[in-house]
Amino acid sequence: MLQQIASTAKNVRDAHLGRVEKALKVAVPQLRKLTFERDKRGIPHLKGKCEHWRPEGAWQNEADFSDGTLRLIGLLWSLLDGSGPWLLEKPELSLHPGIVQHVPQMMCRVQRDQKKALRQIFLSSHSANLFRDEGIAAGEVLMFIPSTKGSIVTTANNEDEVRDPGEAGLAVGRPAGQPLQGQVRARRLRPRLFVHQAPSQANIDEPGYQG
């Protein structure tokens, strides 16, 4: 990843890191700056300045970052460094459950206000936490349900278990095209794979969207 970042033109690299920095603050609020530099031997490094008990804060490099922080930086960078549809399997790996639910929001934020078209994103996951983001509409989630005759594919808003507000569980945001009106919750779910298709620019621009 460092070699890929190092080989990127400086103006593009700085712009990408600025976007990654802003998006990361959802998960790492103490992060104040994310930069790239080479040491005296020419080896590339990522450096981050975080709030600290000292007034001036503290600088760390990639060797000090947690596995989850490194994974998030890699995911967000790869999302910016390319075009066309993007398929990501199990983005929740190595991430704290409390951070996983913010992944869709981070992916949306990192692409905002770009001159190029937004990438179409497909996420596959077994984690209910990923779908707690209120910006995700139930109609945007495809559920692959195992059966004796193969997998059945349905949208989350067609499943009674997902639409039942009676018990805590999976929260799948709102009806497609509708403003947020509270979370939709699920009872215990049978084993299944969830695939979320990230919203288009039109979805992001609509009133009430918070993804």
Number of Cβ atoms within 10 Å of the Cβ of 8: 18
Mean pLDDT throughout 120-131?
83
Q: Determine what percent of the chain is predicted with pLDDT higher than 90.
A: 18
**pLDDT reading at 181 higher than 80:** no
Q: What are phi and psi of 5, to 5 degrees?
A: -65, -40
CB 173 within 8 Å of CB 180: yes
| CA-based nearest residue to 48, from 61, 67, 57, 38 | 61
Query: What's the rounded Cα separation, in Å, for the pair 60 and 117?
Result: 33
Amino acid at 155: T
Of the pLDDT bands very low, low, confident and very high (cuts 50, 70, 90), residue 10 is: very high
Judged against a pLDDT cut of 90, whether residue 129 lies above it is answered with no
At 14 the pLDDT is: 93
d(CA 191, CA 194): 10
Specify the pTM: 0.70
Report, in angstroms and rounded to the nearest whole number, the Rg of the chain calculated over CA atoms.
19
The count of residues in the chain is 211
Pick the range with the lowest mean pLDDT from 50-54, 64-68, 74-78, 108-112: 50-54
One-letter amino acid at 165 equals P
First-to-last CA distance in the chain?
A: 27
Q: Tell me: pLDDT of 140 over 90.
A: no
Q: Is the pLDDT of residue 207 over 60?
A: no
130-135 mean pLDDT: 78
Q: Give the pLDDT score at 21.
A: 92
| Cα separation values, 64 from 33, 34, 70, 135, Å | 15, 13, 10, 32
d(CA 100, CA 178): 24
